[in-house]
Structures are given as structure tokens and as C-alpha cells.
Amino acid sequence: MDESYDIIEMPQRLNKDEINQKNTIIGIIKKIKGVKEIKEKGSQMSIMIDVPTKKQREYRIEFMKNIANLLQTKHKIDAQYDSRGTTASTSGFVSVAGTNLKFYVKDARVQGDNRRGVANELNLVKLIKDQIDKYGDIDVTFRDDRGVALTVKKATNVAGTGTDTKGRKKADLIITNGVDTIPISLKKPNAGFYESADSLFGERARKIIDILVQKGLLKLTKLPAEKDLIVRGVRKSVYQMSSEIVVEPTPQDAVQVMFGGDLNPKGGIVIQDFQAHHFIMKDGQIFIDCYAVIRNLQEVPEAHLMYWLIRNQSTRNATKIGIAGIKADAATMTRSFGAKLEKKPLFVNMEGDTIAPPKPRDPSV
């Protein structure tokens, strides 16, 4: 698999308020010239349009930016274009503050979903479920080359989840055996982000930015007026930082981001792109070979260590940061410092003091 995703996206069940918001927005978007239909799947909405044969990605991105701007300026809906690629679309999406809604723009002339890798997670669920349907129950083991394994004995059901995110739940699928419920989070080997952290880390990010500016280590440059954002009818100047900032998290931060409120101690994180050769059936058991299986912080591979990343994104207006054009993420070590640690961000602690960059502990992971 050669596509890179920042987010593994699975449809989520909407609450009553989200349903009302969704219906309002769909009513607005349907009136936009060029929109043929809107396909709904839980929290995911696919806006179907005819995309030109040239510069298709740029056209879809511009269409989404225009939708976000329309919702903000004409309808006072806090919508923003988010450039992060997901397993639903590598071109980003329109998000709505305070909801799980994601609006994607798709080419109406491309029928079906034949993109490589998009259905990998759903294929994983189907493969396990097919064997359960065949045998009644089956042992499921996720394993990696380090000898770390996560096994569910006599699994009787498996389901994609994301329907309940309260309490910072992280599971993408749930495997049950009638006694235990095992939550599992799925990550791609090349995924660069764990989550957007504008809300979780935004206030701390702003304090660190202010400290670094005061020390003369960071410069904020106002971008030209044509880059301004319109938020709830108010024009906001967009700024750009002179450097990305990476912040060393506390162990509590890392646990909260990576394991949420549900993965530890019974569940875990499995990192893989789930291609056919990763699945092995043997003696009535399914073995799934993974890049890594993670049950606790000590088992996190170096490339996937979590750091706070403060970065430029000109379309972002993070309320808790309070500077348009800057956002916060919980990112992997590879995204923060580069695969070979070649990136040189400002690396600081929570007090804004610069610290020495990390050194590779094991190049193989």
C-alpha cells in the first residue's frame, strides 16, 4: 500500500444534535451549483460532483474550502477545511466544530469505492466475522516480530466501532467472546498523527508559543490579507510561524492520547495496513502479522512515540490557541522529527525551555 493517511476514518453514529446539524448543512450544500447528490454513512457525508480531469485534487480541495467559507459567512456555522488525509479521502474534509461530522467531496463519475486500502479496516472486520460465522468461534491473535501479541480466545463477534467516543474512547473495532470485550485501535504504519489536539493541547500550545516569541526563538508573520479567514462573519488575520514546535509530552499525555479511556488494560493498538498476506489461518485460529502490537507505553515503537506538534495550517482557526493559521496535533516521532531525525523543529518542554532532540534508540523501529 503506497498511500499515506493521517487519520483512520470509520463512520460514527450521530447523536440527536449532530443529526439536526447534519440535516441543516446538507440542505445548504444541496443548493450549491454542481452538487449532484450527497451520500450519507453515519458521520461521513460524500458530496458528489463532476470533477475535471485535470488537477482533480486541487479542484476538490477548493470546493471544500468554498463550502466551509459559505457555512461560516452566510450561515454562522463553525465549519473549517481540514487538510489531513484520511482513509476516506486523501484530499481532506470539511469539519464542523463540536461534532463528528466530516464532509468529503467525491467525483460523481467514479462509481463504487475501488481505491486501494480504503476498505482495509472493514476487510479486517469481515475476515474475522466470516470465520466466526463458519466455526462459531475462533481465536484471534495480533502479533509482531518483537514477540508482542494480543489474543482474543474464542471470539464470537467483531464489529467496527467509533459509535461511542465519550470518555475519549479510541477503539476502531471491538472483539468479544461472551465474557470479555476487547477494544482495538487500528493505525497505519505511515500514519503521522494520533489526533488533532487543538482542544486538548491548545491552551498549553498558546503559552509555549508566547514564551518562544518573547525569547526571540520564534517569529510570527502575518500573511497577506487574501489569506484571511472569515469565522462567524468576523475577518481574522492568518499568521505563520518561523518553525514548527515539538513539545515533549508527559507520560500521562501519551497514555491519554494513545490509549484514551478504553484501550488499556485489556485492549491495545495494532499498527498495520492489513493486506492479504498479513492474515494466516492455522488450526482454527487467525494470526494477523502486524508492524507493531502495543498494549502499553513501553511497547510503542520509536517511530510511533507520541509528541505534541504545533504547526502552520493556513485554513485553521483553533479557538484555544487564538492565532489563526496555527494548529496543534498529537503526532508520531517520525512526523515530528523526520524518519531519519532530519527535521529541526523547536523542541521544548512544557515550560517552553529548549531541550536536546531525541536520539535513535533502535533504527529498526
Does residue 115 register a pLDDT over 80?
no
Q: How far apart are CA 217 and CA 199, in angstroms?
A: 25
Report residue 358 CA to chain centroid gap.
24
Together in a domain, 186 and 264: yes
pLDDT at 119: 44
**Are 95 and 209 found together in one domain?**
no
Residues 31 and 154 grouped into a single domain: no
Statement to judge: residues 38 and 100 lie in one domain: yes
Q: Which amino acid is at 265?
A: P
Mark whether 307 and 293 lie in a shared domain: no
Average pLDDT over residues 308-318: 92
Asked if residue 96 is part of any domain, the answer here is yes
For residues 95 and 75, membership in a common domain is answered with yes
In SS3 terms, the chain reads as CCCCCCECCCCCCCCHHHHHHHHHHHHHHCCCCCCCEEEEECCEEEEEECCCCCCHHHHHHHHHHHHHHHHHHHHCCCEEEECCCECCCCCCEEEECCCCCEEEEEECCCCCCCCCCCCHHHHHHHHHHHHHHHHCCEEEEEEECCCCEEEEEEECEEEECCCCCCCCCCCCEEEECCCCEEEEEEECCCCCEEEECHHHHHHHHHHHHHHHHHCCCCCEEECCHHHCEEECCEEECCEEECCCEEECCCHHHHHHHHHCCCCCCCCEEEECCCCHHHEEEECCEEEEEECEEECCHHHCCHHHCEEEEEEECCCCCCCCCCCCCEEEEEEEHHHHHCCCCCCCCEEECCCCCECCCCCCCCCCC
Domain boundary among 301, 319, 334: 301
State the pLDDT confidence band at 167, using cuts at 50, 70 and 90: low
> What percent of the chain shows pLDDT beyond 90?
54
Mean pLDDT (whole number) for 212-231: 93
Residue 320 — very low, low, confident or very high, per pLDDT cuts 50/70/90?
A: very high
* Rounded Cα–Cα distance for residues 111 and 7 (Å): 23
Q: Could you give the percent of the chain with pLDDT greater than 70?
A: 90
Same-domain pairing of 317 and 235: yes
Mean pLDDT of 333-342: 92
Strongest mean pLDDT among 31-35, 213-217, 259-263? 213-217
Q: Indicate whether 74 belongs to any domain.
A: yes
pLDDT score of 293 more than 70: yes
Q: What is the largest CA-CA distance in the chain?
A: 65
Tens digit of pLDDT for each residue in 242-257?
Answer: 999 999 999 999 999 9
Does the residue 362 lie in any domain? no
- Give the mean pLDDT of 118-137: 76
Q: Check whether residue 145 and residue 291 sit in a common domain.
A: yes
Report if residue 149 sits inside a domain: yes
- Asked if residue 38 and residue 99 are part of one domain, the reply reads yes
Residues 257 and 168 in one domain: yes
Does the residue 307 lie in any domain?
yes
Q: pLDDT tens-digit profile of 34-90?
A: 999 999 888 889 999 998 878 888 899 999 999 999 999 999 999 999 887 776 777
**Could you tell me if residue 47 is inside a domain?**
yes
Domain boundary among 60, 77, 107: 107
Q: Range of 64's domain? A: 16-107
Residue 97 sits in the same domain as residue 151: no
Chain mean pLDDT for the chain: 86
327 shares a domain with 182 = no
pLDDT at site 290: 93
The total number of structural domains that make up the chain = 3
Pairing of strands 346-348, 245-247: parallel
Check whether 7 has a pLDDT greater than 60.
Answer: no
Residue 147 belongs to some domain of the structure: yes
Range with lowest mean pLDDT among 47-61, 88-102, 160-174: 160-174
